[in-house]
């Protein structure tokens, strides 16, 4: 079992949500909503989602990549992460030996800065650019690999973004996107998360449990974050439909895999519980219980359920494909 560090569950939340006028404008502008939400979350995102750059997350990132695309061709020479966030996927893949030279892009300046800061703390540098995924600011045929984690569902025009990915890939280059919500999985995860939030926040107002509650200002901030999060989560995917979209964009050798059924049924309520209660009450024992339970359920999903359960019932979709190595015959 890979080693894991205990995340800082007491990390401070931002002092205040974005101003109301910005939120109002964001309701009709999903790209603005993405900038506001991810800029606001940039400094606390790693703590919120238990993101680290140790063996635990290196193994997770490498395993997701290998499940989608196999281990042939490692290391890829020049790689780009689309919608990099704090650098979770690309930086962990680099540490795992999947790629050499890394570049990161995100529509959020705060996230690009966070990814570059994390890279520096790991002892290497990555080039970062603030970029719209529908218009990637790199020349044609630049990269051997393009990756992304939990990014496609934030992009208004996913097929256009995939065309851009293929444009910046070298002939024969590969793309890998992981962590994309399926339609069924997203519905279940949201319902479980909402129920967990309601139960946890109400229970911690009862006598004897008030010490477990978060301060009211933090709960208000979390509610504001949740409102923005609804604005930036634009899509869910049918596995077959996602594959057809990549083919329409011009990719070849397209494949979609799905994962996490029982693991998601446990994981989403567990993460919501952590966010809803006083983090001072949680510690290493909770973290190890949560992490090991998720591991075991993910193993069960892969070994026992994946061969027999329809792909669309799992939570995560992983998409890979190639840019044609030569001119496409019509």
Query: Cβ(49)–Cβ(271) under 8 Å?
Result: yes
* Domain locations in the chain as residue ranges: 20-322
Cα–Cα distances (Å) from 318 to 151, 178, 210, 256, in that order, read 11, 4, 41, 5
Cα–Cα distances (Å) from 99 to 71, 144, 237, in that order, read 11, 9, 28
Q: Quick check: pTM over 0.75? A: yes
CA separation for the pair 45, 23 (Å, rounded): 20
Q: Residue 94 CA to chain centroid, in angstroms?
A: 17
Q: What is the pLDDT of residue 287?
A: 86
CATH class of 20-322: alpha beta
Q: What is the pLDDT of residue 188?
A: 94
Place of tokens 């995340």: 7
Q: Which residues of 152-188 are buried (b: 16+ CB within 10 A; e: fewer)?
A: bbbbeebeebbbbbbbbbbeebbbbbbbbbbbbbbeb
Q: What is the pLDDT of residue 225?
A: 67
CA separation for the pair 85, 93 (Å, rounded): 14
CA separation for the pair 31, 38 (Å, rounded): 11
Q: What is the pLDDT of residue 2?
A: 41
Q: What is the pLDDT of residue 13?
A: 42
Q: What is the pLDDT of residue 183?
A: 97
Q: What is the pLDDT of residue 299?
A: 97
CA separation for the pair 241, 238 (Å, rounded): 5
Report H helices in the chain: 20-26, 30-41, 45-48, 55-69, 88-95, 109-122, 158-168, 183-203, 216-232, 239-249, 262-276, 284-300
CA separation for the pair 106, 129 (Å, rounded): 7
pLDDT along the chain (330 residues), means of 10: 42 42 73 89 85 94 98 97 98 98 97 97 97 98 98 98 98 98 95 94 92 83 69 94 98 98 96 88 90 96 97 97 79
Cis peptide before 75 (omega within 30 of 0): yes
């Amino acid at each position: 079992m890979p080693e894991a560090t205990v995340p800082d569950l007491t990390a401070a939340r931002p002092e205040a949500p974005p101003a109301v006028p910005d939120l109002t404008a964001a309701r009709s502008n999903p790209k603005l909503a993405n900038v506001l939400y991810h800029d606001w979350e940039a400094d606390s995102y790693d703590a919120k989602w238990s993101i680290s750059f140790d063996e635990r997350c290196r193994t997770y990132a490498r395993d997701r990549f290998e499940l989608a695309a196999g281990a042939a061709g490692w290391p890829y020479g020049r790689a780009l992460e689309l919608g990099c966030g704090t650098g979770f996927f690309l930086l962990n893949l680099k540490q795992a030996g999947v790629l050499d030279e890394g570049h990161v892009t995100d529509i959020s300046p705060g996230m690009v800065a966070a990814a570059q800061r994390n890279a520096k703390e790991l002892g290497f540098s990555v080039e970062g650019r603030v970029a719209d995924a529908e218009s990637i600011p790199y020349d044609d045929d630049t990269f051997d690999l393009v990756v992304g984690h939990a990014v496609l569902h934030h992009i208004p025009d996913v097929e256009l973004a995939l065309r851009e990915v293929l444009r910046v890939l070298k002939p024969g280059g590969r793309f890998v996107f992981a962590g994309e919500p399926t339609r069924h999985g997203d519905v279940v995860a949201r319902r479980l998360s909402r129920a967990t939030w309601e139960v946890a926040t109400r229970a911690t107002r009862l006598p004897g449990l008030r010490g477990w509650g978060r301060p009211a200002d933090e709960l208000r901030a979390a509610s504001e974050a949740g409102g923005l999060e609804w604005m930036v989560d634009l899509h869910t995917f049918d596995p077959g439909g996602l594959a057809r979209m990549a083919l329409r964009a011009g990719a070849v050798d397209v494949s979609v895999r799905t994962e996490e059924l029982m693991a998601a049924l446990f994981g989403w309520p567990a993460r919501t519980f952590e966010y809803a209660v006083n983090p001072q009450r949680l510690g290493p024992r909770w973290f190890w219980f949560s992490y090991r339970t998720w591991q075991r359920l993910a193993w069960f999903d892969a070994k026992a359920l994946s061969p027999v359960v329809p792909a669309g019932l799992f939570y995560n979709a992983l998409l890979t494909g190639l840019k044609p190595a030569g001119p496409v015959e019509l």
